[in-house]
Amino acid sequence: MHPLAERIQKQDMRALARAITLVESDDDEKLTLMSDIFSIKKSAHYIGITGSPGAGKSSLINKLLTYLRSLNLSVAVIAVDPTSPFSGGSLLGDRTRMNQHFMDSGIFIRSMATRGNLGGLARATKDAIRICDAYGFDIVLVETVGVGQSELDIMKVVDTTGLVLTPNSGDVLQIFKAGIMEIADLFVINKADLPGVEKLKTTLEEYMMIAQPKGWIPPIVQTVSTENQGMAELFKRIKEHQDYLYETKQGFKRRKHQLTLEVYELIREEVWREVRNAIEKDPAKLKSLNDVEADPYQLAHSWFQEWMSKGE
Q: Is residue 70 part of a domain?
A: yes
Tell me: do 32 and 151 sit in the same domain.
Answer: no
* Contact status, residue 130 vs residue 266, Cβ threshold 8 Å: no
Tell me: do 8 and 60 sit in the same domain.
Answer: no
Residues in Cβ contact with 198 at an 8 Å cutoff, skipping those fewer than 6 apart: none
* Contact status, residue 159 vs residue 239, Cβ threshold 8 Å: no
Rounded CA-CA distance 60/98 in Å is 10
Tell me: do 136 and 276 sit in the same domain.
Answer: no
In this prediction, residue 87 carries a pLDDT of: 39
Q: Is residue 269 part of a domain?
A: yes
For residue 121, is pLDDT > 70? no
Q: Is residue 105 part of a domain?
A: yes
Rounded CA-CA distance 178/107 in Å is 33
Tell me: do 108 and 159 sit in the same domain.
Answer: yes
In this prediction, residue 147 carries a pLDDT of: 56
Beta-carbon-side half-sphere exposure of residue 311 (alpha carbons within 13 Å): 10
Tell me: do 227 and 99 sit in the same domain.
Answer: yes
Q: Which of 213, 247, 281 is the last residue of a domain?
A: 247
Q: What's the start-to-end Cα distance of the chain, in Å?
A: 32
Rounded CA-CA distance 230/64 in Å is 9
Q: Which of 247, 278, 293 is the last residue of a domain?
A: 247
Rounded percentage of the chain residues whose pLDDT exceeds 70? 82
Q: Is residue 184 part of a domain?
A: yes
Q: Tell me which of 162 and 266 has the higher pLDDT.
A: 162
Tell me: do 94 and 218 sit in the same domain.
Answer: yes
For residue range 297-310, list pLDDT tens digits in order: 888 889 888 888 87
In this prediction, residue 150 carries a pLDDT of: 43
CA–centroid distance for 42 within its chain: 18
Tell me: do 37 and 49 sit in the same domain.
Answer: no
Q: What are phi and psi of 142, to 5 degrees?
A: -120, 120
Rounded CA-CA distance 125/139 in Å is 15
Give mean pLDDT, residues 42-48: 91
For residue 215, is pLDDT > 90? no
For residue range 133-178, list pLDDT tens digits in order: 999 999 999 988 665 544 567 878 899 999 998 887 665 655 565 5
Q: What is the domain count for the chain?
A: 3
Tell me: do 86 and 154 sit in the same domain.
Answer: yes
For residue 45, is pLDDT > 80? yes
Q: Is residue 84 part of a domain?
A: yes
In this prediction, residue 12 carries a pLDDT of: 94
For residue range 233-258, list pLDDT tens digits in order: 999 999 999 999 888 887 788 878 88
Query: Whole-model pTM?
Result: 0.82
Q: Is residue 252 part of a domain?
A: no
Tell me: do 61 and 14 sit in the same domain.
Answer: no
Tell me: do 23 and 92 sit in the same domain.
Answer: no
Range of the domain at 273: 261-311
171-178 and 197-211 helices, crossing angle to 10°: 20
Tell me: do 3 and 88 sit in the same domain.
Answer: no
Q: Is residue 278 part of a domain?
A: yes
Tell me: do 189 and 233 sit in the same domain.
Answer: yes
Q: Is residue 198 part of a domain?
A: yes
